[in-house]
Amino acid sequence: MNSYSEGKIQAFQKQNDNRARFLIKCPDQPGIVAAVSKFLYEHNANIVASDQFTMNPEGGEFFIRIEFECPDLKGQVDKLETTFLPIAEKFNMEWKIMYVRDIKNMAIFVSNEPHCLLELLWEWQSGDLMANIALVISNHETAREMVESLGIPFYYIPANKEIRHQVEEKQKQLLEQYEVDLIVLARYMQILTPDFVGHYENRIINIHHSFLPAFIGAKPYERAYQRGVKMIGATSHYVTNDLDEGPIIEQNIGRVDHRDNGDDMKKIGQSIERSVLARAVKWHLEDRILVYKNKTIVF
């Protein structure tokens, strides 16, 4: 890690030493917000941001994200989590408290096209992507120099469908060694097995070079060109075992016309891919995403 990035992370941790985030989903009913607010007040916590959403006020699913400051937060962790249990049980909540100073460890998987990787590295170098990029794993050597020049470990693991299980065993060993919290597929052009995906549920973010659900699968820009589309896009989503059909986090589009051939569309599309993936990763790192069935609530 370079000194500039390390300094940014240290400053962020110091600034957020007493800050945490509550993420809650449960069946909607009266009293949820009042109960959580009262709980935080009783622990001398100050709410600094709060977002909520209900699918349906008549028994639909309710979602809330609360960011709060609490004096001596480190010393109160066990107390907070233990004393909240009765409230969680009363409202049938799925919940977690995320401590902001605990920077997430991130692994990036990449193949032969490094544009999304380079965007993430730039965001990280500038201090705008607040994570520890623990390692980069690739089935090509293309990105080694650009990764290792920043002091980030790079692992080359050749991969294809015939050796997929052996490859994933090596990958999982590295992910456990580096205590990885989030995996980002920055144009990693290999299909993951159900076992691997299940092990990291809602912790693998992919960028798809198409505005899903259009042009699912390979070569979307070529097919978009053949179809004569007037706009193209990119989609970032959590990975599930249904190929390219996981919960969508972020999308964006760009205009094209009859003058743009397949290569032009690819160039425009790669620019969209970079920004869409970076936003999705940041939102995950900031604990802004709640998954419900095959959808996301992004606060």
Q: What are the pLDDT digits (tens) for 57-82?
A: 888 999 999 999 999 999 999 999 99
For residue 124, pLDDT over 70 is answered with yes
Is 244 tagged catalytic? yes
Give first-to-last CA distance, the chain, whole Å: 30
Under 8 Å between Cβ of 248 and 222: no
- The torsion angles phi and psi of 156, rounded to 5 degrees, stand at -95, 115
So what's the pLDDT on residue 211?
Answer: 74
Q: What are the pLDDT digits (tens) for 226-245?
A: 888 888 889 999 999 988 88
So what's the pLDDT on residue 244?
Answer: 82
Q: Give the residues across from 63 on adjacent strands.
A: 25, 53
Lowest mean pLDDT among 77-81, 83-87, 234-238, 264-268: 264-268
How far, in Å, are 23, 27, 53, 61 from residue 57 at the CA level? 19, 9, 9, 8
With the C-alpha atoms ordered 63, 68, 74, 79, is the resulting torsion angle positive or negative?
Answer: negative
Residue 74: how many other CB atoms lie within 10 Å: 10
**3 state SS of 152:** coil
**3 state SS of 204:** strand
For residue 98, pLDDT over 90 is answered with yes
Q: What are the pLDDT digits (tens) for 196-231?
A: 999 999 999 999 987 766 777 777 778 777 888 888
Q: What percent of the chain has pLDDT over 70?
A: 98
Q: Which residues are CB-neighbours of 162 under 8 A, at least 6 positions away? A: none
So what's the pLDDT on residue 143?
Answer: 97
Q: Which of 244, 257, 260, 287 is catalytic?
A: 244
- pTM here? 0.92
Q: Give the residues across from 182 on adjacent strands.
A: 106
Give the CA angle between residues 163, 164, 166 to the nearest 5°.
70
